[in-house]
Each structure stands twice: as C-alpha cells, then as structure tokens.
Amino acid sequence: MGLGDVTRAGVLAAVKECQYLGRETFLRRYGFGRATTYELVLDGNRYDSKAIAGVAHLYSVGNLLPAEDFSGGARTVAHRLRVLGFTVEDGISVADGTQQVAPQLVLQPRGGARDRGPQNFAKSIRQGIRITDIRNALGEQADALAALYPSGIARLWGSTPAARSNNEKARALRGRRVGDDVFFYAKNHFIARARILHLFDSPPVARMVWGTDENSATWEHIMALGEIEEFSTPVLAAPILRSLDVPAPLRSLTLRSSDDYLRVVRLLPVRRPQVSRNLRHRFPPRLHS
C-alpha cells in the first residue's frame, strides 16, 4: 500500500480532522513535521501536504502512512494530490504569488435538443457514467477517475474542438483549470454549477459517452466534475452576462477571471454545503491541555 491508495474522500477527511484539532496538534498526533516546500491549498487555507497525505491514507484504507515510509515531493505527494484534483503550491509559487488560488468562472452552454444537450446533461451529469463501462477507452485516465469517484460513477462534460485557435472557446479550453467553478447555461438561465476536479482529452471516451455531432466531431475536451448542484430555481443569466461583458445569449464556452467571478458572485446562489457520503467517520475527542 502507498500513496496510490489515497482517495479524494480520504484527503478531505484528513483536512477536516486537521481543522478540528489545529495544525500543531494534528502534526504531533501523527508524527509529521511542517511542510518545507509543498502545501495543499483548499478553500483559501493551506495544509502540510505530506501530513495530509499520510493521514488521508488512514481514512482511505484503514492504516496510517507514517512520515518515514514515503517522501514528500513533486513526484510523490504533490503529484498524487494533483491527480485527485487538489491544488498544491510549492515554495516558489507560495512566495511570489504567481499561482492563483481563487477559482475562475467557466460559463458552459448546455446545448439544445439539436445538440442533444438535455439528454447528455441527464446522462453524464445528473445520472453519471459508470467508470467500468468506459474503462477500455480511458487508458491511463482510469486510475485518476477511480480515485476521484470512489462510488464508481463519474460526472463528465465535454467540449468539441474550437473552430479557431484564438476565439473565446479556444481561450477557455486553454485557460480553465482544476478548481474552477462551472455554470451551465440553458434557455437564458444558469441551471446548475459544478467544480472541475480533473481535465483530460480523449476522443475515444467522448465517442463512447456522447457519440458525435452532425459534423462528426466529438466532445473530446473533457471535464471531470464534482460538487454538482442543480438550481431549484434557474438563475436569470442576463444581469450576470452583462456584468461580465459577455454577449447574450451565451453561445460559446467562456472563461472569466477570479476577479470577474468575485464581481458577480452576489448575483449567484449561495453554494449549499455538501457532505460526502465517504466522510462518515467520527472525529477523535477534543484534546484538553
């Protein structure tokens, strides 16, 4: 057993315990030191990546991965956490502030009946795709999706290639990243939101899940999504698009910056807290000094 057994749910559980105990108590309890280079960044807070990974192993498979049994570096802990969809910053990016933590805003047209948008949304977002059904097409992505979705059900959405190399869609495909928030648009409203957990390109997976469009293109630029929330009351898009200088109706995948997102966040529904079914554990009793 090793870092490959660490799951996303296990990491979230370790983070929650660290929040409960406090950093120093958490590190002492499990025998880890402070991070010297790599930090896990989650919801604007920083955590010692190696300690979180070691304790996440406990929550994932039942036994702690002690500090002396593995190294914390770019090819080990940082790589595993990034595969699971988390942001990890090294000493350089932490010091000079070159890496943004706040999510960007991805505006995603769902598509209409002609594009099979409603059917595809119901199939691969609301219902989800069984990883076992597409494993042969996934190749090296199979392990990443299995780690992201312990239930075995992946929530996927894809985009066809951009017609030009520097149009709005092409810039969004290049610039979106893990941790960004995605808002789905249909019939002049935003109908749902999600968070990007993983990004990959795969025409075989796209053809297996969604087929091809009338031009024989497929939705090969794929987002693996989590924290999906369909709005009980769709949100009128016009005021938001106007504030972002985006033409209405929304016709293309569009990316806006973290600062732009902050400008319109008051116009969007407050995110409902979500508790993963995989985090049903009891925290240790509070320590008394």
Q: Are residues 58 and 146 in the same domain?
A: no
Q: Are residues 185 and 93 in the same domain?
A: no
In a domain, 247, yes or no: yes
Q: Sheet holding 189-201: strands in order across?
A: 156-159, 221-236, 189-201, 181-186, 105-109, 254-256
Note the pLDDT of residue 99: 42
Largest pairwise CA distance in the chain = 68
Q: Are residues 180 and 259 in the same domain?
A: yes
Note the pLDDT of residue 96: 42
Q: Are residues 113 and 171 in the same domain?
A: yes
Residue span of the structural domain in which 224 resides: 105-267
In a domain, 277, yes or no: no
Note the pLDDT of residue 288: 36
Residue whose structure tokens are 């297996």: 208
Domain boundary at 72, 101, 130, which?
101
Q: Are residues 96 and 118 in the same domain?
A: no
Would you write out the chain's pLDDT as a tens digit for each of its 289 residues?
688 899 999 999 999 999 988 888 888 888 888 887 788 999 888 899 999 999 999 999 989 999 888 876 656 898 899 999 999 886 544 444 444 457 899 999 999 998 899 999 999 999 999 999 999 999 888 888 888 888 999 999 999 999 998 899 999 999 998 888 999 999 999 999 999 988 889 999 999 999 999 999 999 999 999 999 999 999 999 999 999 999 999 999 999 998 999 999 999 988 765 544 443 333 443 333 3
The CATH number assigned to the domain holding 182 equals 3.10.590
Domain boundary at 101, 120, 137, which?
101
In a domain, 164, yes or no: yes
Q: Are residues 159 and 246 in the same domain?
A: yes
| Residue in 101, 105, 45 with CA at minimum distance from that of residue 263 | 105
Domain boundary at 48, 81, 101, which?
101
**Start-to-end CA span in the chain (Å):** 35
In a domain, 168, yes or no: yes
Note the pLDDT of residue 173: 94
Q: Are residues 92 and 109 in the same domain?
A: no
Q: Considering its fold, how many domains does the chain have in total?
A: 2
Q: Are residues 133 and 251 in the same domain?
A: yes
In a domain, 287, yes or no: no
In a domain, 84, yes or no: yes
Residue 267 to residue 238: CA distance in whole angstroms:
11
In a domain, 281, yes or no: no
Q: Are residues 96 and 109 in the same domain?
A: no
The answer to whether 172 and 223 are in contact (CB under 8 A) is no
Q: Are residues 69 and 146 in the same domain?
A: no
Q: Are residues 146 and 93 in the same domain?
A: no
Note the pLDDT of residue 74: 56
In a domain, 280, yes or no: no
